[in-house]
Chain A
Amino acid sequence: MRVLVAMSGGVDSSVAAGLLVHAGHEVVGVTMKLWGGDSDTGCCSVSDVDDARRVAQQLGIDFFVFNFGDDFNRHVVDPYVASHAAGDTPNPCIECNRHLKFDRFLERATELGFDTVATGHHARVAIAPSGSLRVARGADALKDQSYVLSMLTQAELRRVVFPVGHLTKHEVRQEAATLGLRTATKPDSQDVCFITSTKGRSGFLSTRIPLTPGRLVDHQTGEQVGTVPAVQLVTIGQRKGLGLAGDDEPRYAVDVDVPNGIVSVGPAELLLTTDVRLGTLAWSDGVVEGPVVVQCSAHGAPVPATLEMAVGDDGSRQPTAVVRFAAAQRKIAPGQTVAFYDTSAPDQVVGSGIAR
Chain B
Amino acid sequence: MFPLAIEAMVAAASQHFGNPSGAHRLARDARRLIDDARQTVADALGVDLGEVVFTSGGTEADNLAVLGMAAVSGGVTMCSAVEHHAVLDPVVRGGGVLVSVGATGVVDRSALAALVKEHQPAVVSLMLANNEVGAITDLEAASNVVHSRSPATVVHTDAVQAMPWLPVHELASTADLISISAHKFGGPKGVGALAVRRGAVSLRARSIGGGQERERRGGTQNVAGIVSMAAALAHNGAEREHTNDRVIRLRDRLEGELLDQIPDALATLPPKTLRLPNIVHLCLPGIEVEALLVLLEQDDVYASAGSSCSSGAMEPSHVLAAMGIDRDLAFAAVRLSLGWCSTEAEVDHALRVIPNAVARLRNHRAKAAV
- Do A and B bind? yes
Nearest CB on A from B246, distance (A): 33
Are A111 and B365 within 8 A (Cβ)? yes
Residue of B nearest to A64 (CB): B294
CA of A69 to CA of B290, assembled, Å: 13
Provide the A102-130 mask, 1 if CB < 8 A to any CB of B, else 0: 00000110111100000000000000000
Residue of B nearest to A34 (CB): B313
Are A112 and B311 within 8 A (Cβ)? no
Are A112 and B295 within 8 A (Cβ)? yes
Q: Total interface residues on B, using CB and 8 Å?
A: 17
Are B312 and A66 within 8 A (Cβ)? no
- The reply to whether the CB of A46 lies closer than 8 angstroms to some CB of chain B is yes
CA of A45 to CA of B294, assembled, Å: 23
Residue of A nearest to B315 (CB): A67
CA of A49 to CA of B311, assembled, Å: 6
6 contacts across the A-B interface (CB closer than 8 A): A46-B311, A49-B311, A49-B313, A66-B313, A67-B313, A111-B291
CA of A127 to CA of B360, assembled, Å: 33
Are B361 and A111 within 8 A (Cβ)? yes
Nearest CB on A from B349, distance (A): 19
- The reply to whether the CB of A217 lies closer than 8 angstroms to some CB of chain B is no
Are B311 and A65 within 8 A (Cβ)? yes
Q: Say whether, besides A110-B364, A111-B364, A111-B365, A31 and B311 are in contact (CB < 8 Å).
A: yes
Q: Total interface residues on A, using CB and 8 Å?
A: 18
- The reply to whether the CB of A53 lies closer than 8 angstroms to some CB of chain B is yes
Residue of A nearest to B308 (CB): A65
CA of A272 to CA of B294, assembled, Å: 53
Provide the B352-365 mask, 1 if CB < 8 A to any CB of A, else 0: 00000000110011
- The reply to whether the CB of A143 lies closer than 8 angstroms to some CB of chain B is no
- The reply to whether the CB of A356 lies closer than 8 angstroms to some CB of chain B is no
Q: Say whether, besides A66-B290, A112-B295, A49 and B364 are in contact (CB < 8 Å).
A: no
Q: Say whether, besides A66-B290, A112-B294, A112-B295, A107 and B368 are in contact (CB < 8 Å).
A: yes
Provide the B282-313 mask, 1 if CB < 8 A to any CB of A, else 0: 00000010110011000000000000011111
Return chain A residues, CB-CB under 8 Å to B313: 33, 49, 65-67, 69
Q: Say whether, besides A110-B364, A111-B361, A111-B364, A67 and B314 are in contact (CB < 8 Å).
A: yes
Nearest CB on A from B236, distance (A): 33
Return chain B residues, CB-CB under 8 Å to A44: 311
Nearest CB on A from B327, distance (A): 8
Nearest CB on A from B362, distance (A): 10
Are A46 and B310 within 8 A (Cβ)? yes
Known: A66-B290, A111-B368. 18 other contacts (CB 8 A): A31-B311, A33-B309, A44-B311, A49-B311, A49-B312, A49-B313, A64-B290, A64-B294, A65-B311, A65-B312, A65-B313, A67-B290, A67-B313, A67-B315, A108-B291, A111-B291, A111-B361, A112-B291
CA of A64 to CA of B311, assembled, Å: 10
Return chain A residues, CB-CB under 8 Å to B288: 108
Return chain B residues, CB-CB under 8 Å to A53: 312
Are A33 and B361 within 8 A (Cβ)? no
Residue of A nearest to B306 (CB): A67
Return chain A residues, CB-CB under 8 Å to B368: 107, 111
Return chain B residues, CB-CB under 8 Å to A113: 295
Residue of A nearest to B297 (CB): A62
Provide the A64-87 mask, 1 if CB < 8 A to any CB of B, else 0: 111101000000000000000000
Residue of A nearest to B290 (CB): A66
Provide the B307-332 mask, 1 if CB < 8 A to any CB of A, else 0: 00111111100000000000000000
CA of A142 to CA of B320, assembled, Å: 49
CA of A33 to CA of B309, assembled, Å: 10
Q: Indicate which residue in A33, A107, A111 contacts B311 across the interface (CB closer than 8 Å).
A: A33
Provide the B196-230 mask, 1 if CB < 8 A to any CB of A, else 0: 00000000000000000000000000000000000
CA of A64 to CA of B312, assembled, Å: 8
CA of A95 to CA of B365, assembled, Å: 23
CA of A345 to CA of B236, assembled, Å: 72
Return chain A residues, CB-CB under 8 Å to B364: 110-111
Return chain A residues, CB-CB under 8 Å to B361: 111
Return chain A residues, CB-CB under 8 Å to B314: 65, 67
CA of A342 to CA of B211, assembled, Å: 76
Return chain A residues, CB-CB under 8 Å to B309: 33
Return chain A residues, CB-CB under 8 Å to B294: 64, 112
Nearest CB on B from A17, distance (A): 17
CA of A113 to CA of B361, assembled, Å: 10
Return chain B residues, CB-CB under 8 Å to A110: 364
CA of A106 to CA of B26, assembled, Å: 61
CA of A285 to CA of B334, assembled, Å: 41
Return chain B residues, CB-CB under 8 Å to A65: 311-314
Q: From B309, B312, B368, name the one whose CB has the most chain A CB atoms within 10 angstroms.
A: B312
Return chain B residues, CB-CB under 8 Å to A66: 290, 313
Return chain A residues, CB-CB under 8 Å to B291: 108, 111-112
Return chain B residues, CB-CB under 8 Å to A112: 291, 294-295
Return chain B residues, CB-CB under 8 Å to A108: 288, 291
CA of A108 to CA of B295, assembled, Å: 11
CA of A107 to CA of B365, assembled, Å: 9
Return chain B residues, CB-CB under 8 Å to A67: 290, 313-315
CA of A111 to CA of B369, assembled, Å: 13
Return chain B residues, CB-CB under 8 Å to A49: 311-313
Return chain A residues, CB-CB under 8 Å to B311: 31, 33, 44-46, 49, 65
CA of A107 to CA of B368, assembled, Å: 8
CA of A327 to CA of B311, assembled, Å: 50
CA of A340 to CA of B315, assembled, Å: 40
Return chain B residues, CB-CB under 8 Å to A31: 311
Residue of B nearest to A107 (CB): B368
CA of A110 to CA of B360, assembled, Å: 11
